[in-house]
Structure 1
Amino acid sequence: MPDPSLTTTQDASVTAVLVNYCTRDLTLDCLRSLASEVAAFPALEVVVADNASPDGSGTEIADAIAANSWDRWARVLPMPRNGGFSYGNNGVIREQLARASPPAYIWLLNTDTVVQPGALRALVDFMAAHPAAGGAGSRLEHPDGRLQCSAFRFHSVASEFDSSLNVGFVSKLLKRWQVAPALPDTQTRYDWLSGASLLLRTQLFRDVELMDEDYFLYYEETDLCKRADRLGWSFWYVPQSRVVHLVGQSTGVTDPAQQRKRRAAYWFESRRRYFIKHHGVFYAALADAALASGTALSMARDAILGRASSIPDSFLSDLARQSALLNPSINGTSP
């Protein structure tokens, strides 16, 4: 549990973790943006966990780190397989926890991000002033400065129906359950934060253990925050920390330009695992029904209005195959 007596100096050590899988150019752009952060925050170490990228990008990133003289603060940790986002992060976190003097913070950072000057300082300063906070997340932006939602409420049956139906008056009725509410310009507490830029207190990992590697991709940070929330840790959105997020560049799932692209099986598996793990099979089945009914009504509305649907291809049939009723266990997910 959070220790109210816990204090952290503003210049405490931070280890940033980037998980690479065939994203060389994105990773190098992210590292380039971190160079100025290191100059302003010398206690920052950056570790790129390469999940056995078959394109050789792990080696190429290591070569670029040496060529740019970033090796004082950055390095590559080769992982033996592509085990997903949690797996890659855990490889670095385990290593850090085993050190004689672990860092005060672990900074989860996507490879498809460009860190703006002062972003890390804003997060660390907030955490230093709020010892009961388990994590602080950045304001994520599109390259043109438009805001992305990066702080959320926990998923529920109501939120599954609302997000899939997307009708104004229904959203107003279910406002208190909306997963992605409009974000304020002030530091605000939320249930969970995006793992694209999330500073976590190292003590949190001692309390809740590591990230759940049975999530291949998606819902892993939601799961981590859910477990930490039950132990009393809080999570905060800190808009003074600004990070450009090239959303969906690695997978396309959250890229608005690729919304019709068929969802990967691991998205459904991760979603199912989250609901069953934290709420049980019956609740997970209700969440499936809410998502399916909202989606079907949305598709019918689009057909009546003669407009193109934004629903991913084969979404309802994939959801049915991956439903909690047909798959009541929480076995590991796979790519």
Structure 2
Amino acid sequence: MPELVDIDSKIIVVDNCSKDNSCEEIRRWIDSEQVQGQVEVVASPVNGGFSAGNNVGIKAVRAKYYLLLNSDTLVRKNAFKTLLSVAEQNPQAGLFSPRLEWPDATPQESCFRFHSPVSELINAACTGIVSRLLRNFVVAHPVRMEPDYYHWTSFACVLIRAEVLESIGLMDEGYFMYFEDSEFCYRAAAAGWKVMNVPDAHVVHLRGGSSPVKSQARLRKRLPRYFYESRARFFYQLYGKSGLLAANVLWIFGTLISQSRRIILPHKPRSVIEKQWRDIWVNFNKPLKPYIHPDDYDKT
């Protein structure tokens, strides 16, 4: 709230059909702080996922800029003002992201190239020489200290011009979670908008507050079905059915490279996530099929 004192703004808190009474608790806080005109809670009757939740908030207010902010973030001093200042000075860009960092200020990778079939090979191979040979296809960019343009950026925190939404529409609600930020940036780029990272604006991203995907991946445990549904949708939308097939085939090839290394170096930890061999084919025949929630791998 203090960050917004000098900014003509309104905070929309979207409750994505939570079951813990948090919606009422936030409303009580709003009443106790007497900030009814500055903060509004909008309750969604269903948990439609990340895109749907953000769309609920966007549709609740008319603005020049929309700042999407995850629930697992902490905003550093002057971050909002810095983003707005850079946006005003760079009309050619439509999306602006801050430097995401850990609580100790260590920066996080938050700017990326678009996923591609080749990047699936790189990720599955987990082999330095493959990553170096195909470095122009590695998804994550190294952290930079200067403003720059990227294919896409994390939507843990992002400032979007209203003109971008007017020209390409809202976020794709066919994604429950994951890949939706990349797909939105792809549509923005196709419409002529640039994606700019502003490292002088700092936002802490605690990660894992909304989804277990990252923690499950670290433990090599099976990922939620919605991750693979989003993956199939993304590759199909950007590259067509042949691109989705290529992504799966190259992932298998990369995994064979990784497994071959384990034969030579048995002390190496396994890189394949549980049942990923099967799960990459989720929704292959119907990649635009709406997500299934909660997780149920037996549904088709």
Fold similarity call, TM over 0.5:
yes
Kept after mapping to 2: 8 A contact 1:299/1:309:
yes
Work out the percentage of aligned pairs sharing the same amino acid. Answer: 35
Aligned positions, number: 292
Distance in 2 separating the partners of 1:259 and 1:126: 39
Distance in 2 separating the partners of 1:151 and 1:230: 18
Name the aligned partner's letter for residue 106 of structure 1: Y
> Is the aligned partner of 1:305 residue 2:270?
no
RMSD: 1.8
> Is the aligned partner of 1:127 residue 2:87?
yes
Distance in 1 separating the partners of 2:38 and 2:283: 45
Shift of 1:108: 0.9
Shift of 1:297: 2.9
SS of residue matched to 2:99: strand
The aligned counterpart of 1:266 is: 226
1:291-326, Cα deviation, whole Å (9 max, x unpaired)? 232234324434642233254322222223x163xx
Query: Structure 1 residues 55 and 258, CA, compared in 2 at 3 Å: closer, same or farther?
Result: farther
SS of residue matched to 2:105: coil
Shift of 1:37: 1.0
Alignment of 1:185-224 (within 5 A): 185-224=145-184
Alignment of 1:215-294 (within 5 A): 215-255=175-215, 258-294=218-254
Q: Name which of structure 1's ranges 75-84 and 288-297 shifts more when overlaid on structure 2.
A: 288-297
The aligned counterpart of 1:94 is: 59
Q: Name which of structure 1's ranges 68-77 and 83-92 shifts more when overlaid on structure 2.
A: 68-77
Among 312, 317, 321, the alignment partner of 2:278 is 317
Among 16, 20, 23, the alignment partner of 1:58 is 23
The aligned counterpart of 2:289 is: 331
Distance in 1 separating the partners of 2:110 and 2:225: 23
The aligned counterpart of 2:125 is: 165
Distance in 1 separating the partners of 2:259 and 2:21: 42
> Is the aligned partner of 1:36 residue 2:2?
yes
Distance in 1 separating the partners of 2:8 and 2:81: 11
1:62-84, Cα deviation, whole Å (9 max, x unpaired)? 22233344434222101111111
Distance in 2 separating the partners of 1:67 and 1:134: 37
1:64-106, Cα deviation, whole Å (9 max, x unpaired)? 233344434222101111111111111122232xxxxx21101
Name the aligned partner's letter for residue 188 of structure 1: D
SS of residue matched to 1:134: strand
Query: Structure 1 residues 323 and 293, CA, compared in 2 at 3 Å: closer, same or farther?
Result: farther
Query: Structure 1 residues 187 and 245, CA, compared in 2 at 3 Å: closer, same or farther?
Result: same
Distance in 2 separating the partners of 1:264 and 1:80: 22
Kept after mapping to 2: 8 A contact 1:276/1:328:
no
Shift of 1:172: 1.3
SS of residue matched to 1:254: helix
Distance in 1 separating the partners of 2:71 and 2:105: 18
1:230-249, Cα deviation, whole Å (9 max, x unpaired)? 11000011101101001122
Q: Name which of structure 1's ranges 195-204 and 86-95 shifts more when overlaid on structure 2.
A: 86-95
SS of residue matched to 2:10: strand
Structure 1: tracts of 5 or more residues without a match: 1-34, 97-101
Name the aligned partner's letter for residue 222 of structure 1: S
Query: Structure 1 residues 165 and 69, CA, compared in 2 at 3 Å: closer, same or farther?
Result: farther
1:276-305, Cα deviation, whole Å (9 max, x unpaired)? 112100111101111232234324434642
SS of residue matched to 1:64: helix
Shift of 1:139: 0.6
SS of residue matched to 1:108: strand
Alignment of 1:48-87 (within 5 A): 48-87=13-52
1:1-31, Cα deviation, whole Å (9 max, x unpaired)? xxxxxxxxxxxxxxxxxxxxxxxxxxxxxxx
SS of residue matched to 2:245: helix
Kept after mapping to 1: 8 A contact 2:72/2:210:
yes
